[in-house]
Amino acid sequence: MTRIATLNRIVQRYGRGTAARIIGQSYSVYRMNPNTSGSVISPNSLVYPTFSMYFKNHQRASKVHVENTVFDLMIFEGMCDGTKLQVGDFLVENGYESDAGIYCVGQLRPMSQNILVRVESPSTLEKPHPDAGASEDQPTSGFVYVQGKYGGVRPAGRFELTLQGGLYSMQAQGEGILASVPIGLQPINRVSDSHKPPIPMTFPRTKFLCYIPPLPGYIINELDVVKMSQADSYQVSMMYSSADCGLQGFICTLEKINA
């Protein structure tokens, strides 16, 4: 084991690391720590201001290189000094003609290139929280309309994902520091691809594939809501385990909703 670790350091630092410094792009590396609040991509989480990495052919990694994958994720193979990175680190491009692209380390591979996922979309996450109302407001049987009372789930009553002290948690709105999470989002099917009933009653929802980086302290659940910076909202309809794609983080199928 010691021999493999030593050899891996040599290959990563003096082989791939040296090559990346010559032909690679420059990135800022951000990592979660006990002082991180609100967003990992912040000055107090910066670990390397100029980190060199090179994406092979600047194309997505081939599916044969990502074991067990059944998804078409925005996955890249990064050639760099992998000994300086940790799973869950964020790399923000800042070099020559940069588009400020954001990448999350999804898998570290000793003696080989590392796997990163593009997560260019900042978002916030919410959890449905039912408002049941007082017991005297509930009907004894059947359906009864009570003026001014509400029981169910509504956007104003959702809990929000917060990030304080390096841990994520769901809290009531207005409590804690709202977390900004960069995610990777891409469409699976369009509305026109969905089956339409003979008598249309409702529009079919467009489905999206989403990669959410690891969230220490919280696990994504079905029905959680992902809200993008442009106010688009998506609901988690299906969760997949890391064994399905060989990556650490959350792989979800989302459906676009109205609120």
61 — pLDDT class (breaks 50, 70, 90): low
- What is the H or E stretch that residue 4 is in? helix 2-9
Q: Provide the pLDDT for residue 70.
A: 46
Q: Is the pLDDT of residue 253 over 70?
A: yes
Does 168 share its domain with 223? yes
Q: Which range among 40-49, 62-71, 226-235 shows the weakest confidence by mean pLDDT?
A: 62-71
Q: Is the pLDDT of residue 157 over 80?
A: no
Q: Which residue has the tokens 């991180």?
A: 36
Residue 91, domain extent:
2-120
Q: What is the dihedral of CA 121, 110, 46, 248, to 10 degrees?
A: 40
Q: Distance between the two ends of the chain, CA-based, in angstroms?
A: 52
Return the amino acid letter for 187: P
Q: Residue 137 maps to which CATH number?
A: 2.40.10
Does 153 share its domain with 71? no
- The tens digit of pLDDT for each residue in 43-58 reads 999 999 999 998 875 5
Q: Provide the pLDDT for residue 79.
A: 87
Q: Is the pLDDT of residue 257 over 80?
A: yes
Q: Provide the pLDDT for residue 256.
A: 85
102, 120, 138: which is the final residue of a domain?
Answer: 120
Does 132 share its domain with 151? yes
Q: Which range among 104-113, 123-132, 185-194 shows the weakest confidence by mean pLDDT?
A: 185-194
Does 252 share its domain with 162? yes
Q: Please compute the mean of the pLDDT values over residues 190-196 and round it to a whole number.
A: 55
Q: Provide the pLDDT for residue 110.
A: 79
Does 93 share its domain with 211? no
120, 139, 169: which is the final residue of a domain?
Answer: 120
Does 249 share its domain with 131? yes
Does 241 share its domain with 131? yes
2 — pLDDT class (breaks 50, 70, 90): confident
Percent of the chain having pLDDT more than 90?
A: 31
Does 238 share its domain with 139? yes
Does 58 share its domain with 106? yes
The closest alpha carbon to 53, from 89, 11, 93, belongs to: 93
Does 109 share its domain with 128? no
Q: Is the pLDDT of residue 201 over 70?
A: no
Question: Are 105 and 213 contacting, i.e. CB atoms less than 8 angstroms apart?
Answer: no
Does 150 share its domain with 205? yes
Q: Cα separation of 259 and 257, whole Å?
A: 6
Does 116 share its domain with 148? no
Domain count along the chain: 2
174 — pLDDT class (breaks 50, 70, 90): confident
Phi and psi, residue 119, nearest 5°: -130, 75
120, 147, 162: which is the final residue of a domain?
Answer: 120
Q: Is the pLDDT of residue 62 over 90?
A: no
Q: Please write down the long-range contacts of 14-19, taking CB distance under 8 Å and 24 or more positions apart.
A: 16/79, 16/80, 16/81, 16/82, 16/113, 17/52, 17/80, 17/81, 19/54, 19/79
Specify the higher pLDDT residue, 249 or 259: 249
Q: Cα separation of 43 and 56, whole Å?
A: 29
